[in-house]
Chains A and B, each alone.
Chain A
Amino acid sequence: MNHLSDLLLGRLGRDALPFWEMLKDPTTSSIINGIIATGAAAMVILGALVVAGLLTWYGKWKILWRDWLTSPDHKKIGIMFIIIAMVMLLRAVIEAAIMRAQQALGLGGGFLSPEHFGQLFTTHGTIMIFFMAMPFLTGVINHVMPLQIGARDLSFPVMNTVSLGLTAAGAALVMVSLVLAPFSTGGWSGYPPFTESAVNPGAGVDYWIWAVTLSTLSSTLTGINFAVTIYKKRTRGMNLMRMPLFCWVSLCTAILMIFGMPPLTVATALLALDRYLDFHFFTADLGGNMMNYINLFWAFGHPEVYILILPAFGIYSEIFANFSGKQLYGYTTLVIATMAIAVLSFTVWLHHFFTMGQSAHVNAVFGIATMLIGIPTGVKIYDWMLTMYRGRVRFSIPMVYALGFLMLFTLGGLSGIILATPSVDYQVHNSLFLVAHFHNMLIPGLLFGMLAAYNYWFPKAFGFRLEERWGYRAAFSWIIGFMLAFFPLYALGLLGMPRRTVTFFTPAYLPWTLAAGLGALVILFAVYCLIMQLWQSVRLRQENATPIGDPWDGRSLEWATPAPPPEYNFPVLPEVYSHDPFTEQKSGGRAYQRPERYADITMPANTAMGVITAVTGFLMAFGLTWYMWWLVIASGAVALIAVIARGYARNTTRVIPAAEVQRTHERWLDDVARTTPVTRDHEHTRANRGLAVPPEQGAIQ
C-alpha cells in the first residue's frame, strides 16, 4: 500500500499541506504562520471554485472554450496574458504588504517565521518578474503591435497560443505551491549552493525551477514571434522608420528575448541536472563552480531588465505624443537610443555581482558600461519632455502615470548611477538601498507603464472607456504609495539594513520600516482603486462606450479600427505614407473610407494546442517537482503526440467571405456617419463615442 502511494504520489505527503506544521507542533509562531499560509491556500481554492462556479452558473464554458482558450486571435491572447498578469499582481502585492508588515513589527521579532518570510520574498520576486511583468508586457505588445503595423495577426498564431499556455502553466504551478507547499526560499535569482539539494532537498526549489523554465520557454517563443512579425508583416509603406515607437521597442524587446532568455533556460536546466541527476555544475564539491550560475543568471538577468523597461518606454512615447496633441519629438533619436540600450544591455551583467571577487579593472569596465546606459536613457527623458513642450497637454489618467514615471524614474536612474560605481556598490550591496533602487525603476518604469497602457488601450480592446474617478485615485495612490514605501528603504540601506532580513535589532530602523509599512497600505488602497475602477467601468459600459474606436484622437493605425476591432483587424490592409498615419488620414479627410472592393480574408482556425500545452506543461512540471514519474512520462507522451499530430493537420485556416467583411465594415462606417465627433476638451465626457473632431488642415487642435 505504502509502496503504491510512493509510486503514485512520489514524495508528496501530508506535510505539504500548509496547516500540517501547525497541527503537528502547535506553538504561537507555527499557528500564526500556519493560519496565514492556510488562508492563502484557501483563497486560491476559493478563487478557482468561484470562477468555475460562475462559468457554470452563467453557462459560459462553451464561449470560454470557443472564443478565448482556443482562439488564435492575437488580441484575445493579449488580453488573456494581461488577465494572468493582473491576478498574479494581486497575489504578489498582498505578499509585499505582509512582508512590509513583518518589517514594520520586526524589531526583535515580528510574526513571520524566517522560512515563511523566505518563501514570501521568493514568490513575490518570481511572480512580479515572470508572471506579472512578462505576461503584462507580452499581452500589451500582442494586442497592440500587429494593429499598429497594419497586420492581421502575428506570424505564428498557433505558437502564440503555445506561449500563452506555457505562461499559464507556470503561473498555475506557483499558485498550486500555496496549497501544496512549500515554495523555494532561495530568492527570485535562486543562487546555488543554497538551492542545491545538499542544502535544500525539498520540493520548493523544484517548484521554482520548473515555473521559471516554463515562463522562459514561453518568452523565447514570444520573442521569435514578435521579431518575425515586425520584420515580415508590416503593411505596405510601413517602413521601419515609419513604425510607431511602440513597435520599435517591441522589436528590441523581442530581440532581447531571443538572445536573453536562453541563458536562464541553461541556468535552470543545469541546476535541475544538479538536483535530479547528481551532476556537479554549481555544487561546492567535486569541481562545481557556482560562479557559472551567477554569470549565466545575470547574462539573462540584465537583458531582462530592459525587456521589462523598453515596452514601457514605448508606451510612454505613444502617450506623451497623443495627450500632448503633437508628433513625438526626436523620433529618430528615440529609435537610436532604444537600439543603443538594447545593445548595451548585454555588456553590463557583471554589475550584479561587483563584490564576488573579480579584479578592480574588470569592475571598472562594467561600471563604466553601466553608466553609459544613462546616456540613451537621458536622451529619451529629454525627448519626452520636449514632446510635451508647447503641446496642449491633457491631464488624462495615462498622463498622470507618465508624469509620475518621468520624475520618479529619473530619481531611480540617479541611484542606479550611484550603484554603478563599484566602490560605492561595496558599501550598499545586498542592502535595502538596492531593493529601493530596483523597485524605483520597476514600479514607476514598468508597472506605471503597464497601468498607463491598460487605461490607454482598454477602450480599443473592449469598446468602452475605463471609469475615471477611481482611475485617478488609483494613479495618485500608486505614486504616493510608491514614494512612501520605497524612499525609506534608501535610508534603511544607507543605515546598513540588509535585504531579505526577517527581523532586526537596531531601533534606529524602526521609524523607516513603519513609514514603509504605511506606504504598503497606500499601495493596497491603490490596488483596491484599480478593482473598483474595473467594476465601475463594467457597470457604466453603455455610458462610456466608444464603439467607433478613436476615443483619444489617436495617431497610429490601431485607432483606425472599430473598438473592439474585428478578428481580421482591417477589411483591407492599409497603405502608409508617413509617420502617424491615422492623424494624416484624418487631417487629409481620408479617414473612414469605403474600400473600392473587398476580398476574402484567410484567418487561422481555432486550435487546442495552447490548452494542451498548458495542461501537459503544468502536469509535467508538477510531476517533476513531486517525483511523480508516471505523470511526467504520461504528460510528456501526450505533448509529443499532440505536436506530431498537429503536423498532419491541413485545415488550419478558415476563410471569412468578402460579403461578411463588407457588411461588418459598412455597418461600422454607417455608425461613424451617425456619430457626433467630440473635441479633445470633451473626451472624458459621455459625449465621447470614439470619434474625434478632425483637425483643421495642418493645425494642432
Chain B
Amino acid sequence: MSTQPSRHPGLNLGEPHAEAHSANEEFVFGFWVFMMSDFIIFGLLFATYATMLGGQAGGPGPDELFELRGAFIETMLLLVSSFTFGMASLALKYREDRKWLIIWLLISLVLGVAFIGHELLDFHRMFDKGGVPSRSGFLSAFFALVPLHGLHVTAACIWLIALLGQIAVHGLDHGVKISLTRLAILWHFLDIVWIGIFSLVYLGGLA
C-alpha cells in the first residue's frame, strides 16, 4: 500500500489516501474484469453471427436490409458521445465546479438516447422490409447481436441518469466519482463493440 498520488490518472479523489486508493483500485479493476467477461459474450455473438451469415433461408439478406447511411449516423452519434464523455472525465479530474461535468454528461446522455432512437428507427425499417428475427437464422443472429449492444447503451443511459440524481443528492463524493469512472469504462467499451458491429455487420454485409 504505497501512497503514490497518481494511482488513478483518471480520478481526482482529493488528498492521496492509501486506503481509499486501494479500495477504489479494487472497484475499477473489478469493473475491468466484468467488462472482460462481457466481451466474451459479444465475441461469441459475433462468432455466431459470422457462422449464420449463410442461414438466410431465402429471406432478405444484408443487401436488402442494411443502410449504410443510418449505421453511419449511429456510429457518429456514439463516437461523439464517447468524446463528450471523455470531456466529462477531464472535467471531473481538473475542474472544481460541477457545471462543465454536468453539461458534458448531459450531452453524452442526449447522444446516447439519440443513438438508441435512431437504432430503433433502423430496426423498424428492417421490419417493414420483412427483416424480422423469426424469418431466418441470419436475422436471428443479427437481432441477438445488435440489439444486445443497444440494450447495453440503454442500461448505460439509465446508470447515467441515476448518477446525475446521485450528484444532485450527494454532490461529487467518492461514490459518485468511482461510479463515473466505471461508467466511462462501459461507455468507451460500448464504442469499441459498436465499431466491431459497424465494420463486421454493416460494412462487411454491404461489401
Contacts and interface: CB of A to CB of B under 8 A. Distances in A.
A286 B165 contact: no
B175 A650 contact: yes
B16 interface: no
Interface stretch (A85-93, A255-263, A621-629): A255-263
B48 A258 contact: no
Given A277-B133, A286-B135, A220 B37 contact: yes
Most buried by B among A227, A287, A644: A287
Contacts of B6: none
Contacts of A228: 26, 29-30, 33
Nearest to A258: B37
Interface in B102-124: none
Interface of A: 155-156, 220, 223-225, 227-228, 231-233, 258-259, 261-263, 265-266, 269-270, 273-274, 277-281, 283, 285-289, 292, 296, 299, 640, 644, 647-648, 650
Contacts, number: 120
Contacts of A224: 30, 33-34, 37
A263 B141 CA distance: 15
Interface string B1-44: 00000000000000000000010011001100110111011001
Contacts of B26: 155-156, 228, 232-233
Contacts of B138: 287
Contact of B144 (A223, A273, A285): A273
A291 to B, nearest CB: 9
Given A232-B26, A270-B48, A648-B165, A265 B55 contact: no
B134 to A, nearest CB: 4
B52 A289 contact: yes
B180 to A, nearest CB: 12
> Which applies to chain B's interface (DSSP): helix, strand, loop or mixed?
helix
A281 B166 contact: no
Contacts of A263: 40, 44
A262 B40 contact: yes
B37 A156 contact: no
Nearest to B134: A278
B140 interface: yes
B131 to A, nearest CB: 13
A266 B173 CA distance: 37
A279 B30 contact: no
Contacts of B169: 648
Contacts of A233: 26
Nearest to B141: A281
A647 B133 contact: no
Contacts of B37: 220, 223-224, 258-259, 261-262
B41 A644 contact: no
B170 A650 contact: yes
Contacts of B175: 647, 650
The 5 closest A-B pairs by CB, nearest first: A287-B55, A287-B137, A287-B57, A279-B140, A278-B134
B140 A273 contact: yes
